[in-house]
Amino acid sequence: MNHVRSDRFNAFLDRDGPAIATTQSGPLSGCTLAVKDLYDVKGFVTGCGNPHKHAHGTPAQNTAPSVQVLLDAGAEFIGKTQTDELAFSLTGENAHFPRPINPAAPDRVTGGSSSGSAAAVAGGLADIATGTDTGGSIRAPASYCGLIGLRVTHGAISLEGTMPLAASFDTFGWFARDMDLYGKVANLLLPVSSTSFQRILRLPELEDLIVGALGKSAFVAALQRIERLVGPASQAALTSVDMEERYWCFRKCQSHEAWQEHGAWVLSGERNLGPGVKERFEYGQSITDQSFAAETQKRTTLTSELEDLVADDGLIIMPTVPGAAPLAADPFESLQDFRERALRLLCLSGLTRLPQLTLPLASVDGAPFGISLMGPRGSDRALIALGRTILQTTKGGTR
């Protein structure tokens, strides 16, 4: 059947829903599903946020298997959502499309690259929406829009039928407004986790990235609420690779992989790439194989240190991003500055491939500010279970 929806948040690529109806029943029956335009959906062109790719693409012959799991569980597909161009951004603005509106804070950005999916769920246009997280594209929009968002253990969910950006960082993700529904999706896609969190940790250098006194106060208040539930957090530090080295390690590794994946296409004609995206690909072109190898070694060292720190029972509590979403009216340079600050927080999970769950536990100036839980590899469903308890128990939670 064909849905006509009021897309007042510029979340979808089309105004009318697709002529597709689910024929399945299951745990997601009655739930609507929006799909980020990086995933193949049978009969639809995967445009990846770039008009040239969409214009020259052909309809997908099959649906991405991970998306198909949700459809087979009874979810009803209602449309493709906006993505930042080639998923190579974090702000949620694509030069080729109207800006998705953040329903939780309309004067602020949604965050990207899963911008349309976050807007659709936060605005009540969809119950579930798929996204991806390479550098933070689930966690940042979830934090900005007051949603639940998990960057899964790398490789835990198939990305077959999905546009790759940087394969060693890319992960499947999804948004939902409540943890019960979030958990239903996790139960379909993720293996059971037996992790029991016994040690609670915090990394003060990450908390130093929070912007402003209000942001710092909001984080401390949320931290104290969590500690009352799970126990006091001990301070810890990462010493093998410092914060600036981690940031540049992420930038260089991601950009190199993105150029290896898309460079030939970028060079093969005029692609009219938007501001920021064009420069990121140019930067990737400049990273030599030798530099990439050196940064990969740093990544291995950092991963070993963080895995030793969390072992099989550690939980890190941290800010997801530096604060509430930036104002959409901020100049490009200010948005870029916030993006780089955010990446210093977001890159830790990406570099080490460990799972990180952001919860809508705080706010700044009336806008959402997510607090994250990071655990050992494979602890994804344990993080969700703990997140459910936190949201149900702490008075500051928004869900």
Of 313, 77, 285, which is closest to residue 194 (Cα–Cα)? 313
Residue 143: active-site member: no
Length of the chain: 399
First to last CA, the chain: 32
| Whether residue 363 lies in the annotated active site | no
Residue 152 dihedral angles phi and psi, to the nearest 5°: -75, 160
Which residues touch 288 (CB under 8 Å, ≥6 apart)?
Answer: none
Residues with Cβ < 8 Å from 224, sequence gap 6 or more? none
Catalytic residue of the set 36, 80, 252, 298: 36
| Distance (Å, whole) CA 184 – CA 336 | 36
Give the count of beta carbons closer than 10 Å to the beta carbon of residue 390: 22
Q: What is the C-alpha separation between 338 and 303, in angstroms, rounded?
A: 25
Q: Can 6 be counted among the known catalytic residues?
A: no
In the block, residue with structure tokens 């950006």: 165
Catalytic residue among 89, 113, 114, 117: 113
Based on the number of CB atoms within 10 Å of its own CB, is 329 exposed (0-12), middle (13-18) or buried (19 or more)?
exposed
Cis? peptide before 334, omega within 30° of 0: no
The catalytically annotated residue of 66, 89, 114, 137 is 137
Positions annotated as catalytic residues are 36, 113, 137
